[in-house]
A and B are shown apart, each in its own frame.
Chain A
Amino acid sequence: MSGNPKYPAGYSLRKRRSQKAAFAIFRILSLFIVAVLFAILGFIIVKGAGVLSWDFLTKAPEDGMTAGGIFPAIVGTLLLMLGSAVVAFPVGIMSGIYMNEYASKGWVVKFIRLMTNNLSGVPSIVFGLFGMALFVKYLGFGDSILAGSLTLGLLSLPLVIRTTEEALKDIPDGIREGSLALGATKLQTIWKVVLPMAMPRVITGLILSLGRVSGETAPILFTCAAYFFPQLPTSILDQCMALPYHLYVISTSGTDIEAQQPIAYGTALVLIIIVLVINLLAGLLRKYFENRLKMK
């Protein structure tokens, strides 16, 4: 009989050929996308690597953005990540706990889930408009780290809620029932049993949401980002520079596009490195916790 177990003897040659052709096309198209990713990463890494230096990372821009470094932008982006975490993490985690542990499975949960999904589909520029109308103008925070963090926090909220909810959903009900049967209250069960078990996955989700925040530009265009603010911010009501906005400004406008280009490559590389590190961290964390669970 046929030596190839993939094709039992009954298949006609034509059928085998069309399967081969189809799978080959899938393989080529998939390979092409991998090539695209590596082209983008490779291009930015190769062009940006020469720019990266200690001075570039620790100095403020000089000579009308044509020289110097991007230190204030790095600090600004880190501050915005921190600020958005302060806004989104507590509310998002609590909201996720409510959805999975407390809400009765009826129209309330359906409604909240619909709203959360809708919020995650709202374009980032609409968050920018909203943040400007509410935080900058109506509440009078002005262009500030506070307004930017709040806007970015709301933007990452759906992601935080969803990961929390999914992590909690994976905890088997038997564990909850065991804890309740021992006389623990619902709150004690969640706090001492369910949350610690779900934490690894929650943390992975939180890290990924930070990654998303680090690259967002549109929400901070009108709520926080400063074109040039070389001294570091001293209060949350100061404006700040941010890496993605800096890259946008430096690659599309300015006095000397030629001289700015290396800085743009460098900035793009730093952004890419942040994204890579965050994805790697999330991946490693996932692996680590998975292994630990297996060992138990």
Chain B
Amino acid sequence: MKRFLEKAVRWLLTASGFVTSIVILLIIGFLFTEGAGLFREPVIEEGYVLALNSENPVRELNAAEIKAVFDEDVTNWKELGGADMPISTFRLEDADEHFSEEQLGAQYENAGALISGLVAANPGMVAFVPESMIPEDSGLNFIKDSSISPGEVFGGSEWFPTATPAPLFGMLPLLLGTLWVSLFAILFALPFGISIAVYMSEVASPRIRNFLKPVIELLNGIPSVVYGFFGLIVIVPMLQRVFGLPVGESGLAGSLVLAIMALPTIVTVAEDAMRNCPRTLREASLALGATKWQTIYKVVIPSSMSGIASGVVLGIGRAVGETMAVLMVTGNAAVMPHSILEPLRTIPATIAAELGEAPAGGAHYQSLFLLGVILFFITFLINLCVEFISARNKAKYN
């Protein structure tokens, strides 16, 4: 009985040991299946077609061109490789401009035939209509639809996930926005983080250290919404005044808030590394007549460089994944960032802001999961880096 209990407990503990690994696998599995689905989605909204007059030679348009056509940014087929002919667009919502209610019928039963006729009569017209509406013998041409291509997603610079007929999922602006905000945040946090770490581990008296330690812990413990709220109420208006900006919500506001949030990570890890610097190294340096400060920057800092690097990398990881604070203060404009003083948008903020409105299973929903996959991989890489650094460090001192 006792032996059985020992075995059962052992088995149970082993099983719980592997829970985190299983969770990681599940995260990868679920995010991937949803995210990869994006590349199986058609460019044009599902169930719809773009119908053309049979005289129009254009057969293929990519998502960006379709959007340009329907936004009336492109007004002549010549620009899209077709004949010199003005473009006119037709959406189902426009039906009552062209036809009366009696013509369309109470259930829109005549709409298909009428629209086909309309397109057939206008050589430059492109109509965005449900596939089921168009009669089979309409004689119209259709834009060839393909599935969304990875090139357009990872290389595209326009993020319009709710555009019709063809949503654009260019993720570059979000990726760049994330990188900009995080890099600036680290630039701000770095001098402070390292100084505080050096101060706490080398200079401060135990009493000051015991005061600073809980301060850093508290900074780490404040919820990110509270940081976001503080940023929104204090930092955003301040930046607006100082730089004379039209809107204070900007990349800079995000970086400042993130810098405060990433600081505890940098300080804790870097300080730990410096305290672990062997005593003999310090004493050797002091014995050679170096001052305390010379010992710090010539011996302690170089020998704990890998720990400091780990801290910085982990800080970047924290900044990249931070959601709520950034969502509240960066203004969330999904455009290619030109200046840190303008609104921009990060990957986590995009997921948080849009997932609620994206219909489950649709292309938009899947694109947000794909963003989650990207985010997961960035942080995964960052963690591997840290593991690598600390493994190399261990090898050095053993």
Interface of A toward B, CB cutoff 8 Å:
6-7, 10-11, 15-16, 18-19, 22-23, 25-27, 29-30, 32-34, 36-37, 40-41, 43-44, 90-92, 94-95, 97-99, 101-103, 111-112, 114-119, 121-126, 128-130, 132-134, 137-138, 154, 157-158, 161, 185-187, 208, 211-212, 214-218, 221-222, 244-245, 247-248, 251-252, 264, 268, 271-272, 275-276, 278-279, 283
- Nearest-neighbour CB distance to chain B for A256, whole angstroms, equals 16
- Measured in the bound complex, the distance between the Cα atoms of B296 and A124 in whole Å is 37
Contact in complex: A251, B224 (CB < 8 Å): no
Contact in complex: B214, A283 (CB < 8 Å): yes
Contact in complex: A157, B19 (CB < 8 Å): yes
> Does B389 sit at the interface, judged by CB under 8 A?
no
- Measured in the bound complex, the distance between the Cα atoms of B179 and A198 in whole Å is 42
Contact in complex: B221, A211 (CB < 8 Å): yes
Contact in complex: A26, B230 (CB < 8 Å): no
Contact in complex: A217, B20 (CB < 8 Å): no
Q: A37-B215, A138-B30, A158-B20 are in contact. Are A19 and B292 (CB under 8 A)?
A: yes
> Does B34 sit at the interface, judged by CB under 8 A?
yes
Q: A95-B19, A102-B14, A122-B321 are in contact. Are A275 and B195 (CB under 8 A)?
A: no
> Does B379 sit at the interface, judged by CB under 8 A?
yes
By beta carbon, the residue of chain B nearest A109 is: B17
Interface size on B, residues (CB 8 A): 85
Contact in complex: B328, A248 (CB < 8 Å): yes
By beta carbon, the residue of chain A nearest B18 is: A112
> Cβ of A214: which chain B residues have Cβ within 8 Å of it?
223
Contact in complex: B379, A122 (CB < 8 Å): yes
Residue among B200, B225, B369 making CB contact with A217, cutoff 8 Å: B225
21 contacts between A and B (CB under 8 A): A19-B293, A22-B293, A29-B192, A30-B195, A30-B196, A97-B13, A101-B13, A103-B17, A118-B384, A121-B321, A123-B320, A124-B321, A129-B351, A133-B30, A133-B34, A216-B223, A217-B223, A244-B225, A244-B226, A248-B324, A275-B218
> Cβ of B216: which chain A residues have Cβ within 8 Å of it?
33
> Cβ of B289: which chain A residues have Cβ within 8 Å of it?
10
Q: A121-B317, A129-B355, A251-B232 are in contact. Are A279 and B192 (CB under 8 A)?
A: no
> Cβ of A25: which chain B residues have Cβ within 8 Å of it?
195
- Nearest-neighbour CB distance to chain A for B383, whole angstroms, equals 4
> Cβ of A215: which chain B residues have Cβ within 8 Å of it?
221-226
Contact in complex: B224, A125 (CB < 8 Å): no
List the 4 closest pairs (A to B, CB-CB), nearest first: A215-B223, A123-B321, A19-B293, A98-B17
Residue among B225, B348, B380 making CB contact with A271, cutoff 8 Å: B225
- Measured in the bound complex, the distance between the Cα atoms of B355 and A279 in whole Å is 33
Q: A37-B215, A98-B13 are in contact. Are A123 and B348 (CB under 8 A)?
A: yes
- Nearest-neighbour CB distance to chain A for B288, whole angstroms, equals 11
* Stretch from B3-11, B86-94, B117-125 that touches the partner: B3-11
Contact in complex: A112, B223 (CB < 8 Å): no
> Does B360 sit at the interface, judged by CB under 8 A?
yes
Contact in complex: A157, B215 (CB < 8 Å): no
Q: A19-B291, A133-B34 are in contact. List 13 more A-B contacts (CB 8 A).
A: A27-B199, A30-B195, A30-B204, A41-B218, A91-B19, A102-B14, A112-B20, A115-B21, A119-B20, A157-B19, A215-B224, A244-B225, A271-B223
Contact in complex: A128, B352 (CB < 8 Å): yes
**Which one of B9, B17, B26, B321 has the greatest number of beta carbons of chain A within 10 Å?**
B17
Contact in complex: B20, A161 (CB < 8 Å): yes
Contact in complex: B376, A126 (CB < 8 Å): yes
> Does B228 sit at the interface, judged by CB under 8 A?
yes
- Measured in the bound complex, the distance between the Cα atoms of B24 and A19 in whole Å is 48
Q: A15-B294, A130-B30, A161-B20 are in contact. Are A218 and B323 (CB under 8 A)?
A: yes
> Cβ of A185: which chain B residues have Cβ within 8 Å of it?
2, 6
Contact in complex: A99, B218 (CB < 8 Å): no
- Measured in the bound complex, the distance between the Cα atoms of B17 and A95 in whole Å is 4
> Cβ of A37: which chain B residues have Cβ within 8 Å of it?
215, 218-219
Q: A25-B195, A244-B225 are in contact. Are A125 and B293 (CB under 8 A)?
A: no
- Measured in the bound complex, the distance between the Cα atoms of B289 and A22 in whole Å is 18
- Nearest-neighbour CB distance to chain B for A134, whole angstroms, equals 6
Contact in complex: A123, B6 (CB < 8 Å): no
